[in-house]
Amino acid sequence: MKPLRLSRQIFLLSTGFVFALLALMVCSSKGNQNQSAADSRNSVTAAAPDSENKRTAISDDIFSSRQNAITRAIAEVSPAVVGINVIQVQRYYQRNPFADDPFFRQFFKDVPVEKRVKSLGSGFIISKEGHILTNQHVINDATEIIVTRVGGKQYVARKIGEDFVTDVAILKIEGNDFPYARLGDSDDVIIGEWAIALGNPFGLFDLGSKPTVTVGVISAKDQDFGRQNNERVFEDMLQTDAAINGGNSGGPLANCNGEVIGINTYILSSSGANIGLGFALPVNRVKRILNDLINYGKVDRTWRTGITYEAMSPLVARHLGLKSSHGVIVSALDASSAAAQAGLQVGDVIMGINGREVENFEDVQSIIDDLDLKKGDLLNFRIYRERRFIIIPVELQTSERRSRGRTS
């Protein structure tokens, strides 16, 4: 019996030892699993910032790839662009019903009528003091001018200067430290370079409180349309295919450097819609009258040269050695005039002015009328004297009145 009992005890001890060993293995396995899970969680937690940084870096790269010279120029110019809403007074005459009757029309005259109408346009701030450039036709006969800046804030603007001939006006809003646009050099424009038109077409500025943008190229420059029927003078115009529509007038035409090179002014279109023929006043032409408009409110165009001239005759032309009677002959000079001081003489034959040929008496006045001239401007006279041609520049002087005809 003793050996059997001993065997049973050994079996029980062995079995207990096996179960204890299995329990230890199970606990060890669970501990390893818990540690692995903890390590995994720690690894994920550590990787999260790295993943976020990678996503941010990718987003920055994508954003940078969307930026270019055009978007940077728009970001620079846009804060200075404004929408302009005006109340204008339109004047016309109401025709009387007896206008066609030769007897009664002397008793019934046409009745003058004034009508207040709303109009809109664009402009841009050119100084931190709040000076705004726009077209004169935008604010012509305006009784009220409201300017809206980017962000929606509105100001009552006052007109401090305007020039009908060049179609330029200066407004002023009250305040300080306004964002303003830089004026570039329109003489440095390259045909084919990018052109960016900003403004308030059809009043869309008021919807989003910011200007709309169209992009094209400079199609041509130095486009001279001369004096118009309404007495405006459009010369050296910049042509662009950037869309210019109603309400864009007065807004800036900018280059890729974020500089204003022109003022969007008008389009050529039989339907009134944009067809890619837009024209802007070159900013250099605006610069030459800017100080006059700010300081005096107008441009003084009463000038004189002191030259009296006559038409050429075939007999005089042969005597002077000319093959034709083209040009005009100087018959008198004011001794104190700029022309006399510049070196012109009686008997000189004027063959050209500012690069344009003078063929007859009427050409002189036609050329001068097509130019936007004021005191201080230069007229380059191409002169025939003693069988040779010379160029004599004459600086215009102020005159109480501008003479026409044979004296200028």
Among 78, 119, 167, 186, the one annotated catalytic: 167
DSSP SS3 for 91: strand
Among left, alpha and beta (phi > 0; psi -120 to 50; other), residue 236 is left
Q: How many CA atoms lie within 13 A of 183 on its CB side?
A: 18
Cα four-point dihedral sign 9, 13, 16, 18: negative
Tracing tokens 């007859």 back to the chain, one arrives at 360
Q: In this structure, what DSSP letter does residue 173 have?
A: -
DSSP SS3 for 93: strand
Among 249, 325, 363, 372, the one annotated catalytic: 249
Other beta carbons within 10 Å of 355: 9
Tell which residue, 322, 243, 226, 314, has the closest CA to residue 279: 243
Residue 137 annotated as catalytic: yes
Among 137, 163, 186, 363, the one annotated catalytic: 137
Round to whole Å and give the CA distance between 45 and 264.
58
Q: In this structure, what DSSP letter does residue 101 have?
A: -
Q: How far apart are the first and last CA of the chain?
A: 154
Residue 167 annotated as catalytic: yes
325 and 314 Cβ atoms separated by less than 8 Å: yes
Tell which residue, 181, 162, 168, 148, has the closest CA to residue 261: 181
Non-local CB neighbours of 101 within 8 Å, separated by 6+ positions: none
User: What are the residue numbers of the active site?
Assistant: 137, 167, 249
